[in-house]
Chains A and B, each alone.
Chain A
Amino acid sequence: MNIQAREQANAVVLTITGRMDAEKAPQFERACDLWIRSGYKHLIAELTGLEYVSSMGLRSFLAVAQRLQSASGSLILCGLKGLPRQVFEMTRLIDLFTVFDSADQALASF
């Protein structure tokens, strides 16, 4: 899994590619933690290149969302497709997030 981050407006866009499994999910949480501690309240996860998400990956998304929600912020998901989208939909965890087709659309919503 690869994570690239860029600051844009008052949010951070994290582009995640590859497989988010038990081994890699903590890497995502750590990356988000750094930005949250820097004062950002809105993180945008760009997931077009995400191929797989495991239960640990889902837990990490929920943990970050929870942290941001308690700071009146949000974790926005973009470009969810294929298997990861099916997993989010089947577990109905998708309802907990604001979802956009692209990061540009998410940024325009601020």
Chain B
Amino acid sequence: MITATPRSILAQAGLSLLPVLVFLSALKWVDTYKLLALPRVLRSVFVGCAAAGVCYALNTMVYNLLASPAVWARSGAPALEEIAKAAYIAWLIRSNRVAFMVDTAIAGFAVGAGFAMLENLTYIPDTSAQGLVASAVRGLGTAMMHGGATAIFGTIAVSLSEIRESRSWLLFCPGLIAAITIHALYNQPFWNPIISAVVVLIALPLAVALIFWRSEKALERWLGTKLDKDIDLLEMISSGSFDQSRVGSYLRSLESAFTPVVLGDMLAYLHLSLELSARAKGDLLRREMGFPVEPDPGLAGQLKELRFLESHIGRAGKMALAPLLGNSRRDIWEMQQLADKIAD
């Protein structure tokens, strides 16, 4: 409930913004690879605010209908709010806009911080009655719970989809159950609100920090292994004895299945995919080492050409090249990263 005096309204607005500011400042240190550009982070914060708005309207409607609103607040509202926040993260995962635990956790935290910003504006108790420090702790705790729960949902979902190599909606269920459980526990009346906020403020950052650390290591390994594969493939294609190479013999084995024109386009597609893949990893290496990533005016044309070749060689041609190029979620993600760079 918003208090009447201008001073307490200002204090409440400040407290609501605080978690978002803390989150954005922390990003500078935790995301070595700068996997999520600032516009996407801010978009996620905005989506979180919008989700909070929708949930506020729905929750108010349900409170007015039910005889015991407290029951809804402890069980129904957490489920509704976690589903609302998770929907956007699920879309990011399914559209390959995030592919690692790190970027998914960042997006989840951003959505949660945005959600908490609006929620704190409406739900933080009267700051003058509870005291500014107590309100700040409770506000930060709520933001951490929202951000942490959605980040945990995202990291579980993205890990499962990577392990199972699937994008099935069912893979989102375990993460969603975990997020709803955290949220519902936080809302239970048997905890002192301030103590539960302090516990959340200590435990969730530790859990998320561990996820970040493990994911950054995994990303470093993936980057090295995949780039070395690209370089080895390039070495084979560029060597004078292409016909005798593994790639050459493989493409020759496809001669009976494709016309010479399509085979030529498949080779061009292979080379261009390799070039763009190496490029995307070069950008990641630059970020890892703290160098800026400059815009590339030729990138839009290359991606357009890739799409043209893709349509020309068809599904069969792409499937035939899959053993050489790979077609995992992360392979698609790196192309999406390049495309997003043009869009941003």
- Cβ contact within 8 Å between B228 and A54: yes
* Shortest Cβ gap from A98 to chain B (Å): 14
Q: Contacts of B234 on A, CB cut-off 8 Å?
A: 83, 86-87, 90
Is the C-beta of B190 less than 8 angstroms from some C-beta in chain A? Answer: no
Q: How far is the CA of A25 from the CA of B224 in the complex (A)?
A: 13
Is the C-beta of A58 less than 8 angstroms from some C-beta in chain B? Answer: yes
- Cβ contact within 8 Å between A93 and B235: no
**Interface on chain B toward A: helix, strand, loop, or mixed SS?**
helix
Is the C-beta of B177 less than 8 angstroms from some C-beta in chain A? Answer: no
Q: Contacts of B223 on A, CB cut-off 8 Å?
A: 55
The answer to whether residues A91 and B291 also contact, given A55-B224, A83-B234, A83-B238 and a CB cut-off of 8 A, is: no
- Cβ contact within 8 Å between A86 and B291: no
Q: Contacts of B275 on A, CB cut-off 8 Å?
A: 90
Interface size counted on chain A using CB atoms at 8 A: 21
Is the C-beta of A107 less than 8 angstroms from some C-beta in chain B? Answer: no
Contacting residues of chain B (244-290) with chain A, CB-CB under 8 angstroms: 274-275, 278-279, 281-283, 285-286, 288-290
- Chain A residue with Cβ nearest B226: A55
Q: Which of B231, B238, B286, B296 makes the CB contact (< 8 A) with A93?
A: B286
**Which B residues contact A (CB, under 8 angstroms)?**
223-225, 227-228, 231, 234-235, 238, 274-275, 278-279, 281-283, 285-286, 288-291, 294, 296
Other A-B pairs beyond A62-B291, A96-B286, 8, CB < 8 Å: A53-B231, A54-B228, A59-B285, A91-B227, A91-B282, A91-B285, A92-B294, A93-B282
**Which A residues contact B (CB, under 8 angstroms)?**
22, 52-56, 58-59, 62-63, 66, 82-83, 86-87, 90-93, 95-96
